[in-house]
């Protein structure tokens, strides 16, 4: 699963973390700048009221928790404008795009790189690509199936169809 959402809902769904590429980070996780390990805010005792959200651009505040493994600076794993994408997550997303049978793209304009190019990688790897979005995208003519609709209209009936198919 490749996501640009930072709300932690994919992890809460039960998907194995090693299968999840969170390209824009996760608001519930902190990342060490030195060793790249990730921790929940609770694991390290991060108090957002005291130390703020921990964005890369924030100056460190006295008493902020450090990485338990190496003592490095912890920052929010959320990627803000100007921040680099996490290389491990990007590599996993590229692997998913190269090896998937079907790529389901939900609600993305596909104009922000490097995430947008993942669709092209999947197409070149002969994956079937289903694109659900209300607005135009650069890949509209190249995908296997293009659905011009809001994902909130498409997903509930699609989930019911999948559930029915797997009950049999």
What SS3 state is found at 30?
A: strand
Helices 117-124 and 87-99: crossing angle, nearest 10°? Answer: 30
Helix (H) or strand (E) holding 40: strand 38-40
Q: Is-catalytic flag, 24?
A: yes
HSE, side-chain direction, 13 A CA sphere, residue 100: 24
Which of the residues 10, 24, 28, 96 is marked catalytic? 24
Q: Which of 21, 26, 13, 10 is nearest to 121 (CA)?
A: 21
Instruction: Specify burial of residue 30 (Cβ count, 10 A radius: 0-12, 13-18, 19+).
Output: buried
CB 121, CB 95: distance < 8 Å? no
Give the active site residues: 24
């Amino acid at each position: 699963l490749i996501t640009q959402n930072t709300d932690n809902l994919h992890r809460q769904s039960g998907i194995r973390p090693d299968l999840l590429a969170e390209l824009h980070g996760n608001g519930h996780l902190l990342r060490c700048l030195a060793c790249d390990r990730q921790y929940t805010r609770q694991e390290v005792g991060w108090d957002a009221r005291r130390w703020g959200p921990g964005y890369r651009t924030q100056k460190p505040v006295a008493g902020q928790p450090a990485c338990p493994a190496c003592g490095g600076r912890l920052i929010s794993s959320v990627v803000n404008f100007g921040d680099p994408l996490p290389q491990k997550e990007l590599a996993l997303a590229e692997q998913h795009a190269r090896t998937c049978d079907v790529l389901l793209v939900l609600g993305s304009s596909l104009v922000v790189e490097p995430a947008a190019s993942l669709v092209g990688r999947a197409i070149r790897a002969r994956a079937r690509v289903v694109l659900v979005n209300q607005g135009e995208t650069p890949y509209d003519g190249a995908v296997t199936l293009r659905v011009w609709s809001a994902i909130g209209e498409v997903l509930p009936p699609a989930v019911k169809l999948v559930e029915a198919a797997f009950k049999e």
